[in-house]
Amino acid sequence: MYPAKPTVATASEPVTGMAAPPVTGIPISSPGPAVAASQWSSGLCACFDDCGLCCMTCWCPCVTFGRIAEIVDRGATSCAAAGAIYTLLACFTGFQCHWIYSCTYRSKMRAQLGLPDVGCCDCCVHFCCEPCALCQQYRELRARGLDPALGWDVNAQKAANNNAGAGMTMYPPTAQGMGR
């Protein structure tokens, strides 16, 4: 009545007749400085480690946020679109609620990179010190070998070129569509 249960191979016996699935997509990290996967590369209040980034974030946080969002969303959201939404939220709420939008990206980034909370929740970090939080996220992406200023497409191409030189074969994700 029911199909037979497949047997599970143990670690000592090899599985035969099964090919390994191809690697798909582009990895989020690329070769760069070694950073422990479970720790932030810099502290929340280390804004002045990069004065240019600090100034840009203080005077135009929408640019910093847009760049972070594009990398975290792996190109699904453009820098311009994310920055525009951030700016509109800031303008229409009197600079009171834009941090809610940016804290969601901090949570996404922490989940993708396996980073811990910094003592309090993401919303509290963005509410209390939005510029410091954005600078920390930007620095973390750089420490992981990504350059948010270049955008997702260029970073993905660089990662693909680095992997091609290492002898790895990368396949694009399978096409997805709406079924009928």
The per-residue pLDDT for 127 is 87
Tell me which of 32-46, 68-82, 129-143, 164-178 is least confident: 164-178
Host H or E run for residue 52: helix 51-59
Least confident of 65-74, 78-87, 91-100: 91-100
Ramachandran region, residue 167 (left: φ > 0; alpha: ψ -120 to 50; beta: rest): left
Domain ranges in the chain are 47-151
For range 69-94, the mean pLDDT: 93
User: What's at 150, amino acid-wise?
Assistant: L
Q: Evaluate if residue 87 carries a pLDDT over 50.
A: yes
The rounded distance, in Å, linking the Cα atoms of 107 and 136 is 13
Q: Which of 129, 139, 137 is nearest to 33 (CA)?
A: 139
Compute the distance between CA of residue 39 and CA of residue 56 in angstroms, rounded to an integer.
Answer: 25
Is the pLDDT higher at 162 or at 79? Answer: 79
- Name the band, by pLDDT with cuts 50, 70 and 90, for residue 93: confident
Q: What is the mean pLDDT of residues 112-123?
A: 80
Question: Is the CB of residue 18 less than 8 Å from the CB of residue 119?
Answer: no
Query: What share of the chain has pLDDT > 90, as a percent?
Result: 44
Contacts of 114 (CB under 8 A, 6+ apart): 37, 38
Q: What is the mean pLDDT of the chain?
A: 78
* Percent of the chain residues topping a pLDDT of 70: 69
pLDDT in tens, 12-51: 444 455 454 444 444 444 444 444 457 888 888 887 889 9
Neighbour count for residue 137 (Cβ, 10 Å)? 28
| pLDDT above 50: residue 84 | yes
